[in-house]
Structure 1
């Protein structure tokens, strides 16, 4: 996304943070969200009136004890832009949030009624000598997806969509993590991996583990002993 406002540095210096316990956003993903708590309705109203950007951050384990306070979040998050919103009669919102870039939360500068943080954008990095390895890892992920489509025909459409729409290894890792990896903390590790080789490796490991689990569940009555897929 390249349509940031001229004062985007100001936006990043006080970026609203929406913490959730079980959702990790990635660049390029459009996430529907239902906003019902009063403090987060106020957050959306602020974003729509000022600049339509916020960060979606994953809550750290133990958040339940302080949910209505300020429970800890992982410091790497994804910034998103509100690309559509609908305000309901009772003040709740339905929004579409499009992730656009990883960010680091430096510190919280406002705590009530919702948190705002000083943040900065994060960028991927990979040395030129890594490109062959990166393509090899991406090919391995695609192979796992094709095998998953064979084992789970009900997800064929989603897999075909990902394989057709992704344009880069970066996007492949992010889309696979979002759509197919169920463990939110594993998703978070992939979000935090700025080294593209590491991100692809984490994604490949996760999708291979998922495929092995699916294969084991579907074929356990056959008495097979599937080997780990890489």
Structure 2
């Protein structure tokens, strides 16, 4: 199914179910939020988030290269400021492929997208479920290694482990969004066809990152930055 949606280029990768806070100050993105707020149906206040391959969030559209796979975000909270800025909270909803980008019809980008299914094959779900214990164990080792070098202000691994889901899709999105990975790593995970492929890729990445933390005795990101995504929509 092909739809047209507003597009928000971002220097990060969004995953389904993950909370996305944004401070909107650029005129073109103020216009995007205003456009969404005019929609009477709150469920229809959805825009696309695509990671930037080359360029910056505030740069010219013509000088910006975007990845082909993105994730939509649904507005959940909007705070308007007198000077026209917005503070918004959105939640990742569903993945898509960008088919075409329209740079002319509005101040912000718009895109024709195809929505991507996840776990369409029952066999994929069985494979994903079989991978969950291994990924949970690898992620817990990763969190323990981080906690050992983070110091007394770090989130305890026990607290983090209490929040881990066992649903394959939710777990795959949580690990991808929470582990200290590059944009390219995260983008590759977002583009995987289903949770089974995503979890399999995360096993290798978690082992790599755990070894790096152990070897360098350094934490790449504060453990308090790890957040459990909101429920998948």
TM range (shorter): 0.7 to 0.9
- How many Å separate the matches in 2 of 1:118 and 1:36? 25
Match of 1:119 among 113, 120, 128: 113
Task: Map 1:13-162 to 2 at 5 A.
Answer: 13-21=3-11, 23-50=12-39, 51-61=44-54, 63-64=55-56, 67-70=59-62, 71-111=64-104, 112-125=106-119, 127-131=121-125, 133-153=127-147, 154-155=154-155, 156=157, 159-160=160-161, 162=163
Structure 1 194/130 Cα, relative in aligned 2: closer, same or farther at 3 Å?
closer
Q: TM-score, normalised by structure 2?
A: 0.79
- The Cα shift of 1:67 comes to 2.3
Question: Is the Cα contact below 8 Å between 2:25 and 2:86 reproduced in 1?
Answer: yes
Q: CA deviation at 1:133?
A: 3.8
Name the CA distance, whole Å, in 2 between partners of 1:178 and 1:119. 22
Give the Å deviation of 1:88: 1.2
Whole-Å Cα distance in 1 between the matches of residues 132 and 211 of structure 2?
Answer: 18
When Rg is computed on C-alpha atoms for both structures, the one with the higher figure is 1
2:205 alignment partner in structure 1 = 206
Deviation at 1:152, TM superposition (A): 2.4
State the alpha-carbon separation in 1 of the partners of residues 193 and 125 from structure 2.
Answer: 15
State the secondary structure of the residue aligned to 2:193: coil
CA contact (8 A) 1:83 1:96 kept: yes
Query: Deviation per CA, 1:128-177, whole angstroms, max 9, x where unpaired?
Result: 445554234221111112212322222426632541xx251111111111
Q: Which runs of 5+ in 2 are unaligned?
A: 148-153, 219-233
Measured after TM superposition, the shift of residue 107 of structure 1 is 0.9
Task: Please give the secondary structure, in 2, of the residue aligned with 1:152.
Answer: helix
Cα RMSD after superposing both structures: 2.4
**Unaligned regions of 5+ residues in structure 1, if any?**
1-8, 220-230
Query: Residues 59-118 of structure 1: CA distance to partner in whole angstroms, max 9, x if unpaired?
Result: 113x25x92123221111001100001011211111011111101111123534111111
Change (3 A) 1:132 1:69: closer
- Name the TM-score, length of structure 1 as normaliser: 0.80
Secondary structure of the residue that 2:201 maps to in structure 1? helix
More contact order relative to length (CA 8 Å, sep ≥ 6):
2
Equivalences, count: 205
